[in-house]
Structure 1
Amino acid sequence: MTAPDTNQVEHLNGNLTLSVGQYSVAGRKPENEDAIGIRIPEGNLLTTKGAVAIIADGVSAAEAGKEASQTSVTNFLTDYFSTPESWSVKKSAQQVLTALNRWLYSRGRGFADSTRGYVTTFSALVLKSQQAHLFHAGDSRIYRLRDGTLEQITDDHSTRVSEKQSYLSRALGLDVHLEMDYRSLSIVPGDLFLLSTDGIHDILGRDRMQYMLQSLPSDLSHACQALAEAAFEAGSTDNLSCQLMRVDQLPAADINDVVKRLTELRFPPFLEEGMILDGLRIIREMHASNRSQVYHVEDVDSGEQFCMKTPSVNFEDDAAYIERFVMESWIGSRINSPYVVRVAEPPRPKSCLYYLTEYVPSITLARWMLEHPRPAVEEAVYLIDQIAKGIRAFHRRETLHQDIKPDNILIDRHGQIKIIDFGSCHAAGISEINTPIQRDIALGTQSYAAPEYTVARKPNYQADLFSLAVISYEMLTSELPFNGKLEHCKSQRDFLNTRYSESYRINPLVPHWIDGALRKGLRFQPERRHGDVMEFAYELKHPNPQYLEYRQRPLLERDPVKAWKVIAAILALTQLATLLAWLNG
């Protein structure tokens, strides 16, 4: 059997089936300044990015309204589908819209009045898995017809100054800072979405459009044309544009179908040194646990060497485990960084379930720390900076690693860092795709995991930052922070009761400002840590004056709880001494 591409998510490819139609005409105006566009990709992109419908109404008062609307629709449909598949719909669309808005605004500044340049309304509908995502600015609209009721699901951004005149308060190209409404809704089969410009909905009104949509012709393009013609006959003097997108079928929620796709490839047989699998010779077993095995292998034809990761037979009937294993290579193949191990394409079709990565002659950071207790601060910071760059590569793909620990970090003979193991990664774009499987949660080692995993708080990028701060502290002191008590914390109170021990008290060579950066990175509340891992790495290399000032402030300001504990202890001792003196008197 030919193996499916490991860089695909075939098991998540459901049957999202849509019917669409659109129509746009100048109407009584000399030219059409509206723009419309629909794209329903095939295969994997429909699963990871969804289907998109966009309507834009170039502002008539703007000299380049027509160019603005057409550019917005065309560029969005191209650029949105070019964003990483691991990104969420919201991040993908917002990144594209921010860049598009800045381009329109910069072009518009060439006009004498900057508000009369490249300005357009913009309304986009993205249908992905079982969710509808809406992005909106201006007075074009998106409606949803469900169970015979038509509901407007966007808000108009316009200010009416008279019965016949209104001004847009938001639009693409209107201001360098874009304010775009976003919301997501669950969808069900039969949902019908209508996108329209004001030349239609202002004239027909909700009730008449609802009546017309309840008796749609089978061809949705003809239905759109009927709406436009009705608005024209009712006296519309504006451009006439609308789109219809109907949900005919949602991705199947049949767990048997998903499991069947996941198990198309059998688990590998027991592998030993010298065995050959798909033209790959097993050189040695590098690692084995109850969840997986890792082998050093060599292509018998080319001599190229790889690492092969295979699933454990303990989970041969566990669909959640198999899905997570399949997703490891998918996520890893989308991270492109010299500080992250590279997922490799197999030289031949696979006969069973495994994936390959580049082979890196190296040792783990855990072993390196045993061989280099309390290394030179500059050397430790050099390695930490590389780890931070590797983590940032995950975050740029809207992916959390969630298992940053010394055993998952390699150091080659040149001092190059490589982050490995994608088994605990969380990709925002994949989490949006509905699946009947109760997804496996395989998170990291508690000694290095952020508190939010234990206290059931939704993790963000600061969770990986916390893990990096734990590793950094350990590298500089040969001890875990908080006296190694993190793995025993089970509640928020447990974490709050831990006490930070200054790293420079353990290793006097650690500068106070580096300890300040470590302390900040290890704070219990994620929002009190650094903004991202590179900010943390920067503070390890550049003294932050605030940390030096911190040490000079009175204890009552630096640590009020500790200060009051000291005061209470002194008062207790004073009272005890007074009582003893009275008794002996």
Structure 2
Amino acid sequence: MALSVRPALRVTLGQHSLAGHKAVNQDFHGAMLPEGAQRMSKGIAVALADGIGSSRVSQVASAAAVRSFLDDYYATSDAWSVRRSAQRVLEATNAWLHAQTQRSDARFDKDSGYVCTFSALIVKGRDVHLLHVGDARIYRLHPHALEQLTEDHRVHLSSVESYLGRALGAGPHVEIDYRAWEAEVGEVYLLATDGAYAHLDAATVQGVMAACGDDFDEAARQLARAAQTRGSDDDITVQLLRIDELPSADTARLPFQREGLAVPAPLAPRARFEGFTLVRELHVSSRSHVHLAVDDASGQQVVLKLPSIDLRDDPDYLDRFVLEEWVARRIDSVHVLKASRIERPRNHLYVAMEYVEGQTLAQWMVDHPRPSLDSVRAIVEQLARGLQALHSREMLHQDLRPENVMIDRSGTVKIIDLATVYVAGLADSAGERQAHAIEGTLQYTAPEYFAGQGGSARSDLFSLAVVAYQMLTGQLPYGLQVARVHTPADVNRLRDVPLRHFRPDLPAWAEAVLQKALHPQPARRQEAVSEFAHDLRTPGPQFLRPRPPALIERRPVLFWQCTTVLLAAAVVVLLGLRAWGH
């Protein structure tokens, strides 16, 4: 996609390291300041590591930790959040370091292994992200103080004896501290190993910074020398990072720009457009025009989606429009619509997707008003795999409904509309780390969105369960109740209509599985869409326990007698209140 990128994140960086009394410097540091799209999608990273003095190989651990982090973090999916990307990389590094120790003589002495501390800052969009394990430190500089942002993972046994409670490589698993906050222009951060910070104070740091001006490398060098002069015999590493400029909120939102691309005028069949010939109109709405077209170069049929000209001045709408193809290019699943592989430059804003010949799930439901459980399960399992592909990239679909699902002629089910997808990696830049906006159709949206609690993968699970219930019954489990939810208390009052009220021919366990997936509280649902699909195919013992039938099924006459009495009582109370009012 030929879209220009204008990074607006600028920083000033300085760093220096000195060896202590030993011949080998066991500290290691580094930084990555990519340009262009990668700076916008992954940010700027600064990292340092400090090996433990009792090990002859910890300098290898320090170097491996920093190098692998800076290399591998930038190789992770740009759809992932900073936290997920960084922690996945550090978990892999920790496992490798621990394995090296287990293969060496140091497996009998953990203080001689491939172990090190690790601390890093990542500045992405308008946010700062901190990763930390061990006892190196990260500070934020203030005029008269150093604000420590990290916690020392050191256990003190006495005034002279201590050990690292947490470090990379110390065990097969490691807990990484993570924090994030909104950055401010002009902020200065100091990263330092214990050989440096134990011999520096705020006055010294501020004095050196004032004397060196914008030469941060010289400032780092002078601070390292100052620590050495004051008696430090350990390895010393200092890194300084100043935030000079931040992208605007609009620029930070997406890792691409659409400037220079015109919103096309409405097109007619047989028109030529950007190397395509339009065949016919597939769908027209107030938000977009969708056409079947042929790529003139390859002869391939594609679906062209054009933005509504009435919304050409709405930046949020245009961002969402471009997002659809961006998401499709990052999902590799037969059950999610793919972006067409067309790489030629563009002059207009449009989305090119694969053409699926078949029918929507909504049309399938009209043709199959009372489907078998097996046929519904087959569709649910394919939709679950499509949603899993999104969830594995830290994406939420947020608008799963029958109209957004296609079934092709071979029976393959595909999720086709990606315009409402929430991407955690993009939300990092926008300052919203959880999906809150109600993007989907109200009848299929999970109640936690309406209560302001934010969405998760279990929210997509709820939507999938609504679709499954509707396929089986032709009805919605909560009717229009969910759309009237405004508070957590409203959520607790939601009551669904039991599946077997409409389909008494279905097994009781199917109702139990759906009731769990449709629970108003996300924590009470299955943990993942794959678990829900599995429960529908192979129900566990918790769903197979005999469930007492409802009163209306056991004693229908008594049920209606009680209902009549309650209604009569309500009428008497209302009449009494009316008479009292007069």
Q: Aligned partners of 2:60, 2:257: CA distance in 1, in Å? A: 46
Q: Could you tell me which residue of structure 1 aligns to residue 555 of structure 2?
A: none
Q: Deviations over 1:488-547 (max 9, x none)?
A: 555555554443222234223422222211101101111111111111111111122112
Q: Could you tell me which residue of structure 2 aligns to residue 87 of structure 1?
A: 80
Residue of structure 2 aligned with 1:109, choices 91, 102, 108: 102
Q: Could you tell me which residue of structure 2 aligns to residue 60 of structure 1?
A: 53
Residue of structure 2 aligned with 1:44, choices 37, 41, 65: 37
Q: Could you tell me which residue of structure 1 aligns to residue 573 of structure 2?
A: none
Residue of structure 2 aligned with 1:313, choices 298, 306, 309: 309
**In the TM superposition, what are the counterparts of 1:191-340 in structure 2 within 5 Å?**
191-252=187-248, 262-340=258-336
Q: Aligned partners of 1:261, 1:39: CA distance in 2, in Å? A: 23
Q: Structure 1 residue 237: deviation in Å?
A: 1.3
Q: Could you tell me which residue of structure 1 aligns to residue 554 of structure 2?
A: none
Residue of structure 1 aligned with 2:380, choices 372, 384, 393: 384
Q: Aligned partners of 1:344, 1:275: CA distance in 2, in Å? A: 20
Q: SS of 2:530's equivalent?
A: helix
Q: Once structures 1 and 2 are overlaid, which stretch shifts more, 508-517 or 125-134?
A: 508-517
Q: Structure 1 residue 313: deviation in Å?
A: 1.0
Label 1:498 to 1:251 Cα distance change in 2 as closer, same or farther (>3 A).
Answer: closer
Q: Once structures 1 and 2 are overlaid, which stretch shifts more, 522-531 or 509-518?
A: 509-518
Q: Structure 1 residue 141: deviation in Å?
A: 0.6
Q: In 1, are the aligned partners of 2:436 and 2:455 still within 8 Å (CA)?
A: no
TM-score (structure 2 length as normaliser)? 0.89
Q: In 1, are the aligned partners of 2:69 and 2:90 still within 8 Å (CA)?
A: yes
Q: In 1, are the aligned partners of 2:360 and 2:407 still within 8 Å (CA)?
A: yes
Label 1:56 to 1:486 Cα distance change in 2 as closer, same or farther (>3 A).
Answer: same
Q: Aligned partners of 2:157, 2:491: CA distance in 1, in Å? A: 57
Q: Aligned partners of 1:432, 1:174: CA distance in 2, in Å? A: 30
**In the TM superposition, what are the counterparts of 1:141-152 in structure 2 within 5 Å?**
141-147=137-143, 149-152=145-148
Q: Could you tell me which residue of structure 1 aligns to residue 523 of structure 2?
A: 527
Label 1:101 to 1:554 Cα distance change in 2 as closer, same or farther (>3 A).
Answer: farther
Q: Structure 1 residue 263: deviation in Å?
A: 4.3
Q: Could you tell me which residue of structure 2 aligns to residue 402 of structure 1?
A: 398
Matched, 1:539 2:532: no
Q: Aligned partners of 1:474, 1:390: CA distance in 2, in Å? A: 19
Q: Aligned partners of 1:274, 1:27: CA distance in 2, in Å? A: 75
Q: Deviations over 1:458-513 (max 9, x none)?
A: 11111111000000111122222134544455555555444322223422342222
Q: Aligned partners of 1:271, 1:440: CA distance in 2, in Å? A: 35
Q: SS of 2:420's equivalent?
A: coil
Residue of structure 2 aligned with 1:4, choices 2, 5, 9: 2
Q: In 1, are the aligned partners of 2:461 and 2:517 still within 8 Å (CA)?
A: yes
Label 1:245 to 1:408 Cα distance change in 2 as closer, same or farther (>3 A).
Answer: same
Residue of structure 2 aligned with 1:134, choices 130, 137, 158: 130
Residue of structure 1 aligned with 2:165, choices 163, 166, 169: 169
Q: Could you tell me which residue of structure 2 aligns to residue 431 of structure 1?
A: 427
Q: Could you tell me which residue of structure 2 aligns to residue 583 of structure 1?
A: none
Please tell me the residue identity of whatever aligns with 1:159.
Answer: V
Label 1:37 to 1:91 Cα distance change in 2 as closer, same or farther (>3 A).
Answer: same
Q: Could you tell me which residue of structure 2 aligns to residue 479 of structure 1?
A: 475
Residue of structure 2 aligned with 1:346, choices 330, 342, 345: 342
Q: Could you tell me which residue of structure 2 aligns to residue 560 of structure 1?
A: none
Q: In 1, are the aligned partners of 2:45 and 2:70 still within 8 Å (CA)?
A: yes
- The unaligned stretches of length 5 or more in structure 1 are 556-564, 577-585
Q: In 2, are the aligned partners of 1:521 and 1:529 still within 8 Å (CA)?
A: yes
Label 1:481 to 1:246 Cα distance change in 2 as closer, same or farther (>3 A).
Answer: same
Q: Aligned partners of 1:353, 1:250: CA distance in 2, in Å? A: 27
Q: Deviations over 1:95-121 (max 9, x none)?
A: 111222222223223321245322110
Q: SS of 2:363's equivalent?
A: helix
Q: Deviations over 1:350-378 (max 9, x none)?
A: 22110101111111011011111222211
Q: Aligned partners of 1:385, 1:308: CA distance in 2, in Å? A: 28
Q: Aligned partners of 2:124, 2:40: CA distance in 1, in Å? A: 7
Q: Structure 1 residue 155: deviation in Å?
A: 1.3
Label 1:553 to 1:508 Cα distance change in 2 as closer, same or farther (>3 A).
Answer: closer
Label 1:513 to 1:214 Cα distance change in 2 as closer, same or farther (>3 A).
Answer: farther
Please tell me the residue identity of whatever aligns with 1:46.
Answer: R
Q: Could you tell me which residue of structure 1 aligns to residue 410 of structure 2?
A: 414
Q: Structure 1 residue 92: deviation in Å?
A: 1.0
Q: Structure 1 residue 49: deviation in Å?
A: 0.9
Q: In 2, are the aligned partners of 1:346 and 1:355 still within 8 Å (CA)?
A: no
Q: Aligned partners of 1:527, 1:296: CA distance in 2, in Å? A: 42
**In the TM superposition, what are the counterparts of 1:120-131 in structure 2 within 5 Å?**
120-131=116-127
Q: Structure 1 residue 254: deviation in Å?
A: 8.1
TM-score (structure 1 length as normaliser)? 0.88
Q: Structure 1 residue 449: deviation in Å?
A: 0.9
Q: Could you tell me which residue of structure 1 aligns to residue 14 of structure 2?
A: 21
Label 1:151 to 1:217 Cα distance change in 2 as closer, same or farther (>3 A).
Answer: same
Label 1:541 to 1:55 Cα distance change in 2 as closer, same or farther (>3 A).
Answer: same
Q: Aligned partners of 1:122, 1:452: CA distance in 2, in Å? A: 37
CA RMSD of aligned residues (A): 2.9
Q: In 2, are the aligned partners of 1:148 and 1:214 still within 8 Å (CA)?
A: no
Q: SS of 1:150's equivalent?
A: strand
Please tell me the residue identity of whatever aligns with 1:237.
Answer: D
Q: Structure 1 residue 23: deviation in Å?
A: 1.4
Q: SS of 2:371's equivalent?
A: coil
Q: Aligned partners of 2:562, 2:49: CA distance in 1, in Å? A: 69
Please tell me the residue identity of whatever aligns with 1:123.
Answer: S
Q: Could you tell me which residue of structure 2 aligns to residue 579 of structure 1?
A: none
Q: Could you tell me which residue of structure 2 aligns to residue 558 of structure 1?
A: none
Q: SS of 2:130's equivalent?
A: strand
Label 1:280 to 1:397 Cα distance change in 2 as closer, same or farther (>3 A).
Answer: same
Q: Deviations over 1:329-358 (max 9, x none)?
A: 222221121110001243532221101011
Label 1:441 to 1:486 Cα distance change in 2 as closer, same or farther (>3 A).
Answer: closer
Q: In 2, are the aligned partners of 1:20 and 1:220 still within 8 Å (CA)?
A: yes
Please tell me the residue identity of whatever aligns with 2:338.
Answer: R
Q: Once structures 1 and 2 are overlaid, which stretch shifts more, 178-187 or 533-542?
A: 178-187
Q: SS of 2:545's equivalent?
A: helix
**In the TM superposition, what are the counterparts of 1:352-371 in structure 2 within 5 Å?**
352-371=348-367
Q: SS of 1:501's equivalent?
A: coil
Q: In 2, are the aligned partners of 1:56 and 1:69 still within 8 Å (CA)?
A: yes
Q: In 2, are the aligned partners of 1:383 and 1:417 still within 8 Å (CA)?
A: yes
Among all aligned residue pairs of Structure 1 and Structure 2, give the percentage whose two residues are the same amino acid. 39
Q: Structure 1 residue 204: deviation in Å?
A: 2.6
Q: In 2, are the aligned partners of 1:451 and 1:495 still within 8 Å (CA)?
A: yes
Q: Structure 1 residue 160: deviation in Å?
A: 2.6
Please tell me the residue identity of whatever aligns with 1:250.
Answer: L
- The unaligned stretches of length 5 or more in structure 2 are 552-557, 570-582
